[in-house]
Structure 1
Amino acid sequence: MSFHDLASRLQNIAPFHVMELGKMAAALEQQGNHIIHMGIGEPDFTAAPAVVAAATQAMADGKMQYTSATGLPALREAISAHYQRVYGFDIAPSRIIVTAGASAALLLACAALVEKGSEVLMPDPSYPCNRHFVAAFEGSAKLIESGPEHRFQLSAGMVQEHWSAATKGVLLASPSNPTGTSILPEELKKIVDVVRGKKGFTIVDEIYQGLSYEGAPFSALSLGEDVIVINSFSKYFNMTGWRLGWLVLPESLVPHVEKLAQNLFICASSIAQHAGVACFAPESIALYEERKAEFKRRRDYIVPQLERLGFKVPVMPDGAFYVYADCSALSDDADAFTIDMLNKAGVVLVPGLDFGPATARRYIRLSYATSMENLQEAVQRLEKYLAQRKAA
C-alpha cells in the first residue's frame, strides 16, 4: 500500500543524520570491522542496581497496569524531594508530570503551546528534534546563530532583537546538546525576563542538568513558576531505553497537559516508573555521582587531545558529555570528513549538519560517553588517520 497524500508537515522534518551514521557504522561492524562509537549521546553505564531490582520486584508483584497520566504519586513526590535536596527549593508534586522520556515531555509542551504559525526562538546550533517538535504542530523554529562568543547559546539581547509578532516563546537547553555548554544563570534570568515581558513562554530542556561540572547546582525553575522545565532519567540516571522523563509546569497548565497526555500516551511505562523511584535512593545517587566524576575525567582527557590533533574547542563544555569542535583547520566539509573518518579510522563522530546551518560544515560533535580505553584508542586512530590524510 502506498500513500500519495502524506501530511505536508513531513516536508519540514529532516532525517536525523546521527542515526544515519549509526547505520553506516553498523554495516561496517557486520563486515567484521571494529568501530569506536562517539556519535550517539548515550551513557555507557546502565541503570543502578537498586533501579533494576525495583523493576524486577514490580514485575514480580504484578505492578504493570496503567498509572495516572500524570505518573505514579510516589515518583512525582521523589522528583519533588530531589529538587529540594539538590537545588534547595520546593516544587509541588502536583506541578510534575511523568512522561515517556523527555521527548514526550517536549511533545506535550509543544502540543499545549504551539499552533499553526507560531514561531519559537532557538539557538543555532541546537538539538534537531526540538525544532521538529515545533514543526509537528505547524509552528516554525527560528534558529538564531549563536557562536562561541555566546557559548553557543541565546542571549537576552538576541531574544529581544529577533522577537516578532509571530513569536510565541523560546526553547532552550542548558547544558546543551550538541555543545555541552550551559547558559549562565544571570543570562538565563535576563532571557526569562524578556520573554515574560512579551507574555511568551520559556521552555528549558534540563536533561543534562545533573551532569554539570562547574559551579553550584542551578535549575531554571528558580526563576519563577511560569518557566517550563523538561528533564529525563536517560542521561544522569543512565536509563536511556527505559523511556522515562518528566515535565514541570505552572499549576494552571497541568490539567491541560494532563488531558493531552491521557489521549496521546495514556501513561509512561508503569514498570519504568516503579523502577524510577529507586533512582533517588542514597546508594543510587552516590553511584550516579561517581559516574558523573568519571564523565568529567573523560572530558578533561579528550578536550586537550582534540586540540593537539588540530581541532579547536572554542568553549570548554561544562556539562553533558559532548565536545563541539571546530574542524575547519582539517577539512572544509564536516559531513564528508566524518564519513571518511568512519570508513578509514573506524571512529564515529557527528558532523554539525544536524544541529543547524550556522555550524554545519565547520563543526563536529564528539560524545565522550564511552570508556576511557575507547577514547584513548580513538585518539590513536585519529592521529594516524590525520597523518595519512596530510601526507596524501
Structure 2
Amino acid sequence: MENNLASRLAHIAPFHVMELMKMAAALESQGRHLIHMGIGEPDFTAPQIVIDAAAKAMADGRLQYTSALGVPALREAISNHYAEKFGLNVPASRIIVTAGASAALLLACAALVEAGREVLMPDPCYPCNRHFVAAFEGKAKLVASGPEHRFQLSDQMVREHWTSDTAGVLLASPSNPTGTSIAVGELVKIIASVKERGGFTIVDEIYQGLSYDAPPFSALSLDDDVVIINSFSKYFNMTGWRLGWLVVPERIVPELEKLSQNLFICPSSIAQHAALACFSPEALTIYEKRKAEFKRRRDYIVPALRELGFGVPVMPDGAFYVYADCSRFTNDADAFAKQVLNDAGVVIVPGLDFGPATASSYVRLSYANSMENLQEAIVRLRKFLAQPA
C-alpha cells in the first residue's frame, strides 16, 4: 500500500505546530502547568445566543442537508454584514458558505490552480496555504519578505517574481503568523499587476474582524474579481464549528457550486443556523468587547517582549499573534521553542512552519489567552532568559 501513495504527498510537510502540541500534552499529563501561546484559537467561545441558536436548530429538527452554497438566510446575513460594516454591496449570490476557511481555500485552489502552475505568497505565511496549492499539484512559490515589507508581498515582489508559470497570488491580511496587514495602497497595486498579467488574487481575510489600528477594510472594495476567504472561527469565536465563506465573481459561482456539491455536499446545517445569531446586535456587542480585549493584550505583550530582548520589528495590527525575532538568544528557533516549553512551561511556536526565510530566527506567540496568563508567561520567560547559557 505504501508504494501506492500519491506523489503529491511528498510536497506536503508535517504541521510542526501540532507536533509541539503533542509534546505539551505529554507534559500536562505529567502534571505540568503550561501557559499556551501556541495555537491560534480564541480563548473565548461562541456567545450564549449562538449556542442557543444551535440548540434550537437541533430541537426544531433543522438537521438536513442544505444547499451546497449554504443556507440562503446566512448568505443574506453575510451580505448585510458587508453593507453595514464596510459599506459594500456584496450580493448574496456571490457568497458561498463553506466548511471552514480551509474548505474555502480548498475550493478556491481546486477551481483556480492548474498542475505545475505557481502561486506567489510571502515567506513567512500560514503553512496550510501552500499545501492547498500543492494538493492540486500547483507550486507554492515563497517570496522572502522581511519587516521592511511588514512580512507581506509587495507589488515590486510580485512583478519581479512573476514568470510564464505563475497563475496568481495568495495573500493574507491580517496575516498568520505575523498579525500584519497589507497597506491599502500596496494592495491596490498588487491587484492591478496580477490582473494585468491575467492572474488571480486570493485574499485570506479570516482575521479581518480583528484589526485594531485602522477602520474595517476588505479587498472587496478594490476589485470585484478578487477571491475572498473568510471564517466564523476567529472574530466570531467558532473554531470547532467549522464554518467559513468565500466571495467570488458571480460568473464562477456555478463552477464552485459544482465542486462543493461533489467534495462536501454542504457545510454543517447546525453551524449555519447557529451562525445567523452572530449578526444579532447582542452578539456583535460581545464580539466588539472581545476585540477590544485582544487589543489590550497586544498592547501589553508587545512592549513586554521587547523589554525581554525579543525583536518585534513590526507592531502587529491584527489577529492575535506576535512574530518575534529571537536571534539574540539562539540561532535555532525550533530548539529554543522546545527549551522554553520544557524549562519555562510556556508554549510558543518556532518559525519552522511558516517558511525558510525566518525559520531559525523567529517565533510566533499567540496572545489569545487571559491577561493573567500572559503576565505569568512574561514572568516565566524573564526567569528562563536570565539563566546562564
TM-score normalised by the shorter chain: which range applies? over 0.9
Query: Quick check: 1:232 aligned with 2:235?
Result: no
What's 1:6 paired with? 5
> Following TM superposition, by how much is the alpha carbon of 1:261 offset from its aligned partner in structure 2, in angstroms?
0.2
What's 1:328 paired with? 327
> Following TM superposition, by how much is the alpha carbon of 1:25 offset from its aligned partner in structure 2, in angstroms?
0.1
Query: Quick check: 1:104 aligned with 2:74?
Result: no
> Following TM superposition, by how much is the alpha carbon of 1:297 offset from its aligned partner in structure 2, in angstroms?
0.2
> Following TM superposition, by how much is the alpha carbon of 1:3 offset from its aligned partner in structure 2, in angstroms?
3.0
Q: Provide Cα deviations, 1:14-34, integer angstroms capped at 9, x if missing partner.
A: 000111100000000000100
> Following TM superposition, by how much is the alpha carbon of 1:203 offset from its aligned partner in structure 2, in angstroms?
0.1
What's 1:50 paired with? 49
Rounded to whole Å, the distance in 1 between the matches of 2:4 and 2:58 is 43
User: Structure 2 length as normaliser, TM-score?
Assistant: 0.99
Code of the aligned partner of 1:41: G
What's 1:69 paired with? 68
User: Structure 1 length as normaliser, TM-score?
Assistant: 0.99
What's 1:380 paired with? 379
Query: Quick check: 1:37 aligned with 2:36?
Result: yes
Q: Provide Cα deviations, 1:168-222, integer angstroms capped at 9, x if missing partner.
A: 0000000000000000111101000000100100000000000000111110001
What's 1:143 paired with? 142
Number of residues of Structure 1 aligned to a counterpart in Structure 2? 389
What's 1:119 paired with? 118
* Equivalent residues in 2 for 1:202-241, closer than 5 Å: 202-241=201-240
Q: Provide Cα deviations, 1:289-332, integer angstroms capped at 9, x if missing partner.
A: 00000000000000011011110000000000000000000111
* Equivalent residues in 2 for 1:17-32, closer than 5 Å: 17-32=16-31
Rounded to whole Å, the distance in 1 between the matches of 2:45 and 2:320 is 15
What's 1:356 paired with? 355
Rounded to whole Å, the distance in 2 between the matches of 1:62 and 1:268 is 16
SS at match of 1:209: coil
Structure 1 residue runs of 4 or more that deviate by more than 4 Å after TM superposition:
none
Rounded to whole Å, the distance in 1 between the matches of 2:52 and 2:185 is 41
Q: Provide Cα deviations, 1:26-75, integer angstroms capped at 9, x if missing partner.
A: 00000010011100000000001111010000000000000000000000
> Following TM superposition, by how much is the alpha carbon of 1:231 offset from its aligned partner in structure 2, in angstroms?
0.1
Rounded to whole Å, the distance in 1 between the matches of 2:276 and 2:252 is 24
Task: Kindly report the root-mean-square deviation, in angstroms, between the aligned alpha carbons of the 2 structures.
Answer: 0.6
Q: Provide Cα deviations, 1:214-233, integer angstroms capped at 9, x if missing partner.
A: 11111000111100000000
> Following TM superposition, by how much is the alpha carbon of 1:259 offset from its aligned partner in structure 2, in angstroms?
0.2
Rounded to whole Å, the distance in 2 between the matches of 1:370 and 1:216 is 25
* Equivalent residues in 2 for 1:125-136, closer than 5 Å: 125-136=124-135
SS at match of 2:365: strand
Q: Which runs of 5+ in 2 are unaligned?
A: none
Rounded to whole Å, the distance in 2 between the matches of 1:118 and 1:4 is 26
Rounded to whole Å, the distance in 2 between the matches of 1:224 and 1:328 is 40
Query: Quick check: 1:340 aligned with 2:304?
Result: no
What's 1:302 paired with? 301
Q: Provide Cα deviations, 1:263-293, integer angstroms capped at 9, x if missing partner.
A: 0000000000000010000010000000000
Rounded to whole Å, the distance in 2 between the matches of 1:44 and 1:312 is 25
> Following TM superposition, by how much is the alpha carbon of 1:362 offset from its aligned partner in structure 2, in angstroms?
0.3
What's 1:176 paired with? 175
Rounded to whole Å, the distance in 2 between the matches of 1:215 and 1:299 is 15
Rounded to whole Å, the distance in 1 between the matches of 2:271 and 2:214 is 31
What's 2:278 paired with? 279
SS at match of 2:41: coil
Rounded to whole Å, the distance in 2 between the matches of 1:191 and 1:3 is 43
Code of the aligned partner of 1:223: L
Q: Provide Cα deviations, 1:147-169, integer angstroms capped at 9, x if missing partner.
A: 00000000111101100000000
Rounded to whole Å, the distance in 2 between the matches of 1:126 and 1:277 is 31
> Following TM superposition, by how much is the alpha carbon of 1:4 offset from its aligned partner in structure 2, in angstroms?
2.3
Rounded to whole Å, the distance in 2 between the matches of 1:248 and 1:41 is 23
- Identity within the alignment, %: 74
Rounded to whole Å, the distance in 1 between the matches of 2:27 and 2:214 is 42
Rounded to whole Å, the distance in 2 between the matches of 1:371 and 1:175 is 22
SS at match of 1:98: strand
Rounded to whole Å, the distance in 2 between the matches of 1:200 and 1:257 is 18
Code of the aligned partner of 1:384: K
What's 1:264 paired with? 263
* Equivalent residues in 2 for 1:56-95, closer than 5 Å: 56-95=55-94
Rounded to whole Å, the distance in 2 between the matches of 1:370 and 1:8 is 40
Q: Provide Cα deviations, 1:225-252, integer angstroms capped at 9, x if missing partner.
A: 1000000000000000000000000001
Q: Provide Cα deviations, 1:101-135, integer angstroms capped at 9, x if missing partner.
A: 00000000000001111100000000000000000
SS at match of 2:156: helix
What's 2:314 paired with? 315
Code of the aligned partner of 1:253: I
Rounded to whole Å, the distance in 2 between the matches of 1:52 and 1:82 is 20
Code of the aligned partner of 1:164: T
Rounded to whole Å, the distance in 2 between the matches of 1:115 and 1:27 is 41
SS at match of 1:263: helix
SS at match of 2:4: coil
Q: Which runs of 5+ in 1 are unaligned?
A: none
